[in-house]
Amino acid sequence: MQFARLFERVQEFAKSGVHKLRMVGLSTIHGVTLVIDLQDVTKTYRGGVQALRGVSLRVQSGEIFGLLGPNGAGKSTLVKIIMTVVRPTTLTGTVLGRPACTQEVLSQVGYLPEHHRFPQYLTGRQVIDFFGALAKVQRTERKARTEELLEMVGMRDWGNRRVTTYSKGMQQRIGIAAALINDPRLVVLDEPTDGVDPVGRREIRDMLLRIRAEGRTVLVNSHLLSEVEMLADRVAIINQGRTLAQGTIEELTHDSHRYEIDAINGPASIQTAVGEVTGMPSAAEPGLRTYVIPTRDPAVVQPAIDALRAAGITLTRVERARETLEDLFVRSVVDERGRAMPGAARGPGTPTAPPIVAPPRTPSTSTSSTSTPSTSTPSTEARP
């Protein structure tokens, strides 16, 4: 009897939304609101594998954040810790303003796990509705929202087909819709474009931009660097359980700005305002040399161009360039590998360089407080 009364009171409490009031205290740094603010996350699995060795992650409200790293870096472990699926060995910090690993916040989180698989006898429409029911979204709201989400992910005309008939891209679209059914503030997507063709990938990118435009925060775990480069406001590069770099791509590649000059039969080196620059002979085009001048200032480059032209040398290209995300990724990971073996570490670990952490950008304005009191969309098991 007492248990029944307690159960009723818990239900009343859930309906009242009082618990939502306790979610408003998001942490801030330099005036920036942080949806995820984790420091010194470590995880040692049974058997001694140190999957995480002191990761820090700061995800700002209303941004798309890309979590990058080679296989075995610890990305999935970190995502699972955020989703409270894996218990960390040590951790400080908050998710949605609550101490990390508090399952209470999962009602405000949408999750698309990697390698998910839906119940095969359901249609796409039923899958979204089913996840809404699991998340305790009210039936009428669920129905309306399912239709909106089917439209948003471009699956309205396919919603009544069984998920077994879907391509990988269609399954991912339904997965993204299911992750949004509980109107989450934070959406965690593990490899959302995995196995999806280029057209489908572009459409998924557009969906993520729309999700951000709705004021939600998106954490994307992906190994497709060019895609993350197009999408993410900020990224973190993780390797061997540590954060190597964190910030906007512009911040992280700031020092890599350069001008490249291609010249036919140019001298072995040229003098520039920033020192002597050696011309690298082209393997593809005999006689062609490329000079790389490490500056973002066009004024610095002009005397070099003038000198080459005055010597009668033909220039075929002058281009301003900077590192791509892939360059940055390879540089960070290769530097790290110079000090330690690839993969996760066993034992006490090897010394590494301090991470490149850019300060937070200007305060974010978007916050979404329109969450639905419900449980999280749970993961399903492995995808085919």
Q: State which residue, 51 or 91, has the beta carbon closest to ligand ADP.
A: 51
Give residues with Cβ within 8 angstroms of 381, minimum separation 6. 115, 116, 117
| Window 51-80: residues binding ligand ADP (CB under 6 A) | 51, 69, 71-77
Q: State which residue, 47 or 347, has the beta carbon closest to ligand ADP.
A: 47
Q: State which residue, 267 or 343, has the beta carbon closest to ligand ADP.
A: 343
Q: State which residue, 81 or 152, has the beta carbon closest to ligand ADP.
A: 81
For residue 177, which phi and psi values (nearest 5 degrees)?
-60, -45
How far apart, in whole angstroms, are the C-alpha atoms of residue 67 and residue 127? 27
| Window 264-303: residues binding ligand ADP (CB under 6 A) | none
Taking residues 188 to 227 in sequence order and writing x for each that binds ligand ADP by CB under 6 A, - otherwise, the string is ----------------------------------------
Let me know: does 98 contact 104? Beta carbons within 8 Å: yes
Q: State which residue, 75 or 116, has the beta carbon closest to ligand ADP.
A: 75
Question: Pick from 49, 280, 292, 300: which binds ligand ADP (CB under 6 A)?
Answer: 49
**243 contributes a contact to ligand ADP by CB under 6 A:** no
Output the furthest CA–CA distance in the chain (Å, rounded): 97
52 pairs with which residues across the strands? 43
Q: Minimal CA–CA distance to 219: which of 113, 93, 325?
A: 113
**343 contributes a contact to ligand ADP by CB under 6 A:** yes
How far apart, in whole angstroms, are the C-alpha atoms of residue 48 and residue 241? 13
Q: Minimal CA–CA distance to 37: which of 16, 59, 9?
A: 59
Shortest distance (Å) from residue 71 CB to ligand ADP: 4
**154 contributes a contact to ligand ADP by CB under 6 A:** no
**345 contributes a contact to ligand ADP by CB under 6 A:** no
**344 contributes a contact to ligand ADP by CB under 6 A:** yes
How far apart, in whole angstroms, are the C-alpha atoms of residue 240 and residue 244? 9
Q: State which residue, 14 or 340, has the beta carbon closest to ligand ADP.
A: 340
Size of the site for ligand ADP (CB under 6 A): 14
Shortest distance (Å) from residue 176 CB to ligand ADP: 20
Shortest distance (Å) from residue 34 CB to ligand ADP: 22
Shortest distance (Å) from residue 67 CB to ligand ADP: 9
Q: State which residue, 77 or 182, has the beta carbon closest to ligand ADP.
A: 77
